[in-house]
Amino acid sequence: MPRTRRPTAVPAEVDVLVLGGGPAGTWAALAAAARGVRVALADKGYCGTSGSAAAGGNNLWYLPPDRAARDRAIAAREAAAGGLTERSWMVRILERTWEAVGELAEWGYPFPVTDSGEQYRGSLQGPEYLRLMRRQVKRAGVVILDHSPATELLTDPEGVVTGAAGIRRQQGGARWEIRAGAVVLATGGCAFLSGALGLNVDTGDGALMAAEAGAELSGMEFSCQYGIAPAFGAQTKGLMYQFATFTDADGGELPSSMPASSGVALQRAALRGPVYARLDKAGPEVRSAMRWSQPNFFLPLDKMGIDPFTERFEVRFVLEGTVRGTGGLRVTDEGCATTVPGLFVAGDAASRELVTGAVTGGGSHNGSWAISSGGWAGDAAARFAAARPPGRSPLTARGQAGLRPRGRAGIRHQEVVATVQEHVLPLARNRFRTERGLRESLSVLDDLWRTAADGLAPDGVHGRQTAAMLAHARWMYASALSRRESRGLQIRDDAPYTDPACTHRIRSGGLDEVWTAPEEVRTA
């Protein structure tokens, strides 16, 4: 008979609890374990295979320690970022990414070798990358809880985050609870179940849990990133479309701005009718290299019997939200602390304005941010936990909407999700914004929040991720209303110009009542 694997036992108490098992979470767990403390990691799926990074290739913002080259790279990002970045963070990220990639090489990551015999280290293949990270985390003695999504944070009487609770999906939805000296949120961003490859686990659960404990967010208006994908597929990697000619239904060529994943002209064309692509700008000498570098890009095309280099295929634009957008939990110091004591954040769960500003971090900058913020958050969480006295005080579970309805449960999560998606997925509503459209959507979503908080039926993980998506939509649109201009990803058709007086970040928060406030950008 086949051997039955026993589920990993849930520790009652650890020093650092990491929520999320992607790049940010695994780097956080390694950094915390390096301090010699007890660490546990709980993942919504299977650590090493779930999430956006595991689904494809990952470019990195990776440059050798050449001061002039790094200064040029930073200046180029600053020029595109709308004045919202901070140079000191960008310097730190470039330094940490260089070091971390060297560690990956030492651990045995199979970097490709160039014709000159040197390794090319500027990108990582998701499956190999996350498989290696899981192995290193296990070697470090970290307890990994797979298929164990967190649903709420636990706080002590002083409001300090002191653990989390969740469910074990493969043990009949049994509740787990862990007391911890500190918690690192690495639960990813929110893509609203849009269907983009690898992103359906990214429903913003961590931000909801943090907001319930009083955490603030930032940059939520820059959460309208759309990826380009075949109309019949989910792969939203946009790099290959640099070789594409785009046409409308009648074959007329369309103007495009590159990268195509953020091409505004193509997105406006998609409002008028179907958009088609053909990768006819790729010569024969690069086609095999394209297939080698991103094989999963070509899978849906091959299955449909389409030669993308000679035949055109229809494309669509898929919302990637805060996964490849910018917004997330506000970081307050170099250790990636949130505004709530005991709670740290890394990866796409955090705002990336410090390094990407008002534009998408795509794969490269976000990939390096995940590595860097994960390590910094894990190390800072371990130091925070070491300074705390042993836990004895009673803890309060902070979860509410979708977990503990305030009234009689009566509304199903499917109804809420459908309404949220109606207001955030279409390009016409979310990409090309107006004050009137934002206010109309917010009116519906605010009313829906009150209904959901009172009566959204608890249904395993579904209720919580539904409440999280609804909360994200409200933070996004409230922030977009507060930024009365167009800047970076934010396009306001009723305010099409960038206003120098708006060169500030927008903080946001709240659940029953969403609030926004400006925050000045610190200059070096």
Q: Are residues 148 and 65 in the same domain?
A: yes
In a domain, 437, yes or no: yes
Note the pLDDT tens digit of each residue in 445-464.
999 999 999 999 888 899 99
Q: How is residue 82 written in tokens?
A: 């709308």
**Which of 397, 423, 448 is the endpoint of a domain?**
397
**Do residues 28 and 95 both lie within one domain?**
yes
pLDDT on residue 4: 58
Residue 510 lies in a domain: no
Cα of 11 vs its chain's centroid, Å: 28
Say yes or no: 36 and 106 in one domain: yes
CA distance 366 to 51: 14
* Long-range residue pairs from 70-79, CB within 8 A, at least 24 positions apart, any chain: 70/94, 77/355, 77/356, 77/357, 77/365, 78/357
Alpha-helical segments (H) within 66-166:
67-80, 87-107, 126-139
pLDDT at 262: 56
Phi, psi dihedrals of residue 347, rounded to the nearest 5°: 70, -150
Per-residue pLDDT, 50: 86
| Segments in the chain below pLDDT 70 | 1-4, 257-262, 524
CA–CA distance from 472 to each of 272, 325, 438 (Å)?
Answer: 28, 13, 14
Looking at the structure, do residues 235 and 217 belong to the same domain, yes or no? no
Domain limit, last residue, from 319, 334, 356: 319
The reply to whether 443 and 469 lie within a common domain is: yes
State residue 408's pLDDT score.
79
Kindly report the CATH number assigned to the domain that includes residue 486: 1.20.58.100
State residue 3's pLDDT score.
56
Q: Are residues 301 and 289 in the same domain?
A: yes
Give pLDDT, residue 477: 98
Q: Which of these, 455, 456, 419, 454, lies nearest to 440 by C-alpha position?
A: 419
Domain holding 184, by residue range, is 13-223+325-397
Please state whether 192 falls in left (phi above 0), alpha (psi between -120 and 50) or beta.
Answer: left
Domain total of the chain: 3
* Domain identity same for 253 and 219: no
pLDDT of residue 392: 85
Q: For residue 481, count other CB atoms closer than 10 A to its CB.
A: 18
522, part of any domain: no
- Which whole-number Å values give the CA distances from 518 to 348, 422, 437, 502, in the listed order? 22, 29, 22, 9
Single pTM value for the model: 0.95
Q: Which pLDDT score, from 0 to 100, does residue 522 have?
A: 82
The secondary element (H helix, E strand) that includes residue 290 is helix 284-293
Distance of CA 275 to the CA centre of its chain: 27
Which run of H or E residues covers position 26? helix 23-33
Regarding whether 386 and 474 lie in a shared domain, the answer is no
Domain shared by 108 and 30, yes or no: yes
Does a structural domain hold residue 499? no
Q: Which of 252, 284, 319 is the last residue of a domain?
A: 319
DSSP class of residue 55? G
Q: What is the pLDDT of residue 233?
A: 87
Residues 6+ apart with CB under 8 A from 396: 154, 155, 156, 157
If asked whether residues 146 and 214 sit together in one domain, one would say yes
Residue 366: inside a domain: yes
Helix axis angle, 67-80 to 87-107, nearest 10°: 120
Bond from prior residue into 259 cis (ω within 30 degrees of 0): yes
DSSP codes, 217-256? EE-GGG--EEEEEETT------GGGGG-EEE-TTS-B---
- Which single residue is written with the structure tokens 């509304």? 411
At residue 261, the pLDDT reads 44
Residue burial 162-195, b: 16+ Cβ < 10 Å; e: rest:
bbbbbbbbeeeeeebebbbbbbbbbbbbbbbbbb
Residue 10's pLDDT is what? Answer: 95
The tokens of 295 are what?
């094989």
Asked whether residue 508 is domain-assigned, the answer is: no
For the chain, the first-to-last Cα distance in angstroms comes to 65
312 shares a domain with 198 = no
Q: Is 176 part of any domain? A: yes
Dihedral (Cα; 403, 408, 411, 416), 10-degree rounding: -50
pLDDT at site 260 = 46
For the domain that residue 233 is a member of, what is the CATH number?
3.90.700
Orientation angle between helical segments 126-139 and 23-33, nearest 10 degrees: 20
Q: Would you say 19 and 153 are in contact if contact means Cβ atoms under 8 Å apart?
A: no
Task: Tell me, yes or no, whether 307 and 439 share the same domain.
Answer: no
CATH of the domain at 355: 3.50.50.60
pLDDT tens-digit series, residues 357-369: 999 988 799 999 9
Q: Is 373 domain-assigned?
A: yes
